[in-house]
Chains A and B, each alone.
Chain A
Amino acid sequence: MYRMLLAAATAGAIILTVPALADDDDDRGRRGDDHHTRVSAVTHAATKAECGACHIAYPAGFLPAASWRKMMGDLDNHFGESAALDEATRADIQAYLVSHAGRGSGAPQRISELRWFVDEHRDEVSRRELARAGSWANCGECHRGAERGYFDDD
Chain B
Amino acid sequence: MATTITKTETLVGKRIRRREDPRLITGTATYVEDIQMPGMHYAAIVRSPHAAANIRSIDVKAAAAAPGVVAVFTGKDTEKVGPVPCGASLPDLRVPHHHIMAIDRVYYVGHAVAVVVATDRYLARDAADLLEIDYDVLPAVADPEKALAPGAPAVHPQWPDNTAFNYHQEGGDIAKAFADADVVVKQRITSQRLVPNAMETRGVVAEWRGADRQLNLYTSTQVPHLVRTLVAGMLGLEENRMRVIAPEVGGGFGSKLNIYAEEALMGFVAMKIGKPVKWIESRRENFLTTIHGRGHVDYYEVAAKKDGTILGIKLKIIQDLGAYHQLLTPAIPTLSVLMMPGLYKTKNVSADIVGVFTNCVPTDAYRGAGRPEATHGIERMVDILADELGMDPAEIRLKNFVANEEFPYPTATGLTYDSGNYAAPLDKAMALADYSKILQEQVEARKQGKLVGIGISTYGEICAIGPSPATPAGGWESATVKIEPSGTVTVMTGTCQTGQGEETTFAQIAADELGVDIDNILVLRGDTSIVQYGIGTFGSRATAIGGTALYFALQELKAKVKLFGAMLLESDDVTFSGGQVTCNKSGKTKGLAEIAGATYRAMKLPPNTEPGLVATHFWEPPNFTFPFGAHIVITDIDKETGDIAIRRYIAVDDCGNIINPLIVDGQVHGGVAQGLGQALWEQAVYDDNGQLITGEFMDYAMPRAHMMPWIESSHTITPTNVNPLGVKGVGEAGTIGCSPAVVNSVVDALSHLGVRHIDMPLTPEKIWKLANAGGTN
Instruction: Say whether A and B bind each other.
Output: no
